[in-house]
Structure 1
Amino acid sequence: MTWGREPGATDEISQALTEHGAATAAIEADLSDPDTPARIFDEAEQRLGHVAALVMCHCESVDSGLLDTSVESFDRHFAVNARATWLLIREFGRRFAAAPGTGRIISLTSDHTVGNLPYGASKGALDRITLAAARELAHLGVTANAINPGPVDTGWMSEEIRERCVRGTPLGRLGTPRDTAHLVDFLCSREGEWINGQLLMSNGGFA
């Protein structure tokens, strides 16, 4: 796993994963740097062995629209959200050495548009890159899917946003990280091997 602006989160996440029997390696990384994906894989392989599943939930997200987005912000969004996704997938494909049929690529995406143009546009590019991997890496026995988890409150929502999202969800609640984790777990399992090249909406029916 990697982290960015919340350095304290790594201890909490590492502990939770360790308690579930997982081996972990925390790698601090700036995904706007095109050399970072190769370094991440170098360190992960050195500390954990070959990588059989690549799950990506990184993002750059700064709210701005058509008229007030700067060129610098637009470029950084695409560097982190789109280019880094491509480079991580490319590195994964080049190094993949697990048994055919066991490889998994999963990216977390979004369908936001108005009010956060560079974020939404770069996530759209992420979708296309991920779905391309489903075909281009098929010869390795690797599946690739994108998950749109809908509105998940991880502490960033204002009360107004929270209430609006709950009203828009038929199940009457926000998504949780656990909801997304269950789907990721299924896709990484043997039972999920037939799902490939899909953009999966896991959002409680949010509209």
Structure 2
Amino acid sequence: MALTDGTDQQHRPVALVTGAGRSAGIAASVVLTLAQTGWDVGFTYWTPYDERMPWGADPEAMTQLSSQATKHGARTAAVEADLADPHATADIFEAVERELGSVSALVLAHCESVNSGLLDTSIESFDRHFAVNTRASWLLIREYAQRFQGAHGTGRIVSLTSDATVGNLPYGASKGALDRITLAAAQELAHLGVTANAIDPGPTDTGWMTAEIKDAVLRSTPLGRLGRPQDCANLVAFLCSPDGGWINGQLLHSDGGIP
């Protein structure tokens, strides 16, 4: 766990963002955008996941992310955590609360995502997807709710989801379950004054797209460009702001109108 002190720390609420292991990822953009809009930010990463993915590990990402957030006056706490471990959740909150204080906003941007379909998905892969994308998200939301100390109406939960299905079965199925957990939170945490929403950012250019995929996405997107991490981060920041407090229990498509 790494801590970096910012400069303007007075009255900054605390956000916890999961899955910020790569500079090119959506989570990293969320961390920086929240820092720019007045938040202190704790974030998680898990290097072994990136190491086994095609893009590889980004060993400087955490240091760079903390440094950039600090320039916006934010304090940051980076926590390495294996979200497949059901016991990791409490440790994450303990680390962030110890360094930054009570968490007001929880942004679930982590994922396990390995392409496979109905016929070639292994039981091990299926279980890992649900452990990381679904079970860990439920445990994080539960831990957040049990610890929430903010004023009524200030709490925020934002989950990043996907409508993937064909050829990406375990990822899409586990994200579909996450949608239901998030919508349940919007109702079950109403007594705390916490809003809960899910965002489907659509195909986003974070380094995973082949030239063929980029071409297909460009042809099917009405706005004629690829989704950028900042597009999703802007919506997350709005939902976490006071202006976004009346949006609750929604599955929001922020994908440029892709069918």
Q: Identity over the aligned pairs, expressed in percent?
A: 69
The aligned counterpart of 1:200 is 252
Once the two structures are TM-superposed, the CA of residue 19 in structure 1 deviates from its matched residue by 1.7
What secondary structure does 2:157 align onto?
strand
Distance of 2:64 and 2:257 partners within structure 1: 31
TM-score w.r.t. the length of structure 2 is: 0.79
Residues 46-95 of structure 1 show CA distances to partners (whole Å, capped at 9, x for unaligned) of 01000000011000001111111010000000000000000000000000
Alignment partner, residue 212 of structure 2? 160
Decide which of 105, 111, 127 is 1:59's aligned counterpart.
111
Asked if 1:101 corresponds to 2:101, the answer is no
Provide the rounded CA distance (Å) in 2 between the counterparts of 1:181 and 1:21.
18
Structure 2 stretches lacking a partner, 5+ long: 1-42, 51-56
Q: Choose which of 179, 186, 189 in structure 1 pairs with 2:238.
A: 186
TM-score under structure 1 length normalisation: 0.98
What is the alpha-carbon distance in structure 2 between the residues aligned to residue 9 and residue 167 of structure 1? 32
> Structure 2 residue aligned with 1:2, among 44, 48, 65?
44
Paired residue for 2:189?
137
Instruction: Give the distance between the partners of 2:73 and 2:221, measured in 1 at CA.
Output: 34
Shift of 1:107: 0.6
- 1:147 equivalent to 2:199? Answer yes
Looking at structure 2, the residues matched to 21 and 112 of structure 1 have their Cα atoms a distance apart, in angstroms, of 37
Displacement of 1:12: 2.2
- Map of 2:27 onto structure 1: none
Q: Following the alignment from structure 1 to structure 2, what is the Cα–Cα distance between the partners of residues 60 and 174?
A: 22
Runs of 4+ in 1 over 4 A off after TM superposition: none
In structure 1, the gaps of 5 or more residues are none
2:219 equivalent to 1:177: no
Q: Once the two structures are superposed, what CA deviation does each residue of 1:24-61 show, in whole Å capped at 9, x if it has no partner?
A: 10000000000111110010000100000001100000
110-119 vs 8-17, greater mean Cα deviation:
8-17
Does 2:84 correspond to 1:32?
yes
Matching of residues 13-52 of structure 1 within 5 Å: 13-52=65-104
1:162 partner amino acid: K
Report the number of matched residues.
Answer: 207
SS at match of 1:110: coil
1:18 Cα deviation from its structure 2 partner: 1.5
Whole-Å Cα distance in 1 between the matches of residues 233 and 69 of structure 2? 12
**Which stretch has the larger CA shift, 19-28 or 69-78?**
19-28
Structure 1 residue 16: Cα displacement: 2.1
C-alpha distance in 2 between matches for 1:75 and 1:159: 31
The amino acid that maps onto 2:84 is S
How far did residue 8 of structure 1 move? 2.7
1:152-187 residue CA offsets vs partner (Å, 9 max, x unmatched): 101111000011111111000011111111101110
